[in-house]
Amino acid sequence: MTDQTVPLFDTLVIIGPGLIGSSILRRGMDDRRIARRLVACDISPEVRARVAELGIADVVETDPATAARDADCVIICVPVGAIAMVAAQVMPVMKKGAILSEVGSVKVTVMEAMQPLLARYPDIAFVPAHPMAGTEFSGPDAGFATLFEDRWCLLTPPEHTPEPAITRITALWKMMGARVRCMSVDHHDRVCAIVSHLPHLLAFTICGTADDLADETRSEVLDFAASGFRDFTRIAASDPTMWRDIFLNNREALLDMLDRFIADAQEMGNAIRTGNEDVIVSRIQRGRAIRRSLIENRQA
State which of positions 114-173 bind a copy of itself (CB under 8 A).
132-136, 152, 154
User: Closest distance between a copy of itself and the C-beta of residue 99, in Å?
Assistant: 24
Among the listed ranges 10-18, 49-57, 86-94, 186-194, the one in contact with a copy of itself (CB under 8 A) is 186-194
How far apart, in Å, do the first and last CA atoms of the chain sit? 28
Cα–Cα distance, 19 to 135 (Å, whole number)? 8
User: Closest distance between a copy of itself and the C-beta of residue 162, in Å?
Assistant: 26
Under the binding rule (CB under 8 A), the answer on residue 285 touching a copy of itself is yes
User: Closest distance between a copy of itself and the C-beta of residue 106, in Å?
Assistant: 12
User: Closest distance between a copy of itself and the C-beta of residue 111, in Å?
Assistant: 19
Of 81, 75, 70, 140, the closest CA to residue 105 belongs to 81
User: At residue 12, what are phi and psi to the nearest 5 degrees?
Assistant: -115, 125
Task: Decide: 20 and 48 in contact? Cβ < 8 Å.
Answer: no
16-55 binders of a copy of itself (CB under 8 A): none
Among the listed ranges 41-49, 55-63, 87-95, 198-206, the one in contact with a copy of itself (CB under 8 A) is 198-206
Rounded alpha-carbon distances, angstroms, from residue 2 to 6, 7, 150, 281, 282: 11, 11, 19, 52, 50
246-265 binders of a copy of itself (CB under 8 A): 247-248, 251, 254-255, 257-262, 264-265
- Which CB atom, from 49 or from 195, has the smaller least distance to a copy of itself? 195
Size of the site for a copy of itself (CB under 8 A): 94
User: Closest distance between a copy of itself and the C-beta of residue 245, in Å?
Assistant: 9
Cα–Cα distance, 260 to 254 (Å, whole number)? 10
Among the listed ranges 60-68, 110-118, 141-149, 279-287, the one in contact with a copy of itself (CB under 8 A) is 279-287
Under the binding rule (CB under 8 A), the answer on residue 85 touching a copy of itself is no
Under the binding rule (CB under 8 A), the answer on residue 200 touching a copy of itself is yes
211-240 binders of a copy of itself (CB under 8 A): 211-213, 216-217, 220-238, 240
Largest CA distance in the chain: 68
Kind of pairing between the strands at 129-131 and 73-76? unpaired
Task: Decide: 86 and 64 in contact? Cβ < 8 Å.
Answer: yes
| Region of 144 on the Ramachandran plot (φ > 0 left; ψ -120 to 50 alpha; else beta) | beta
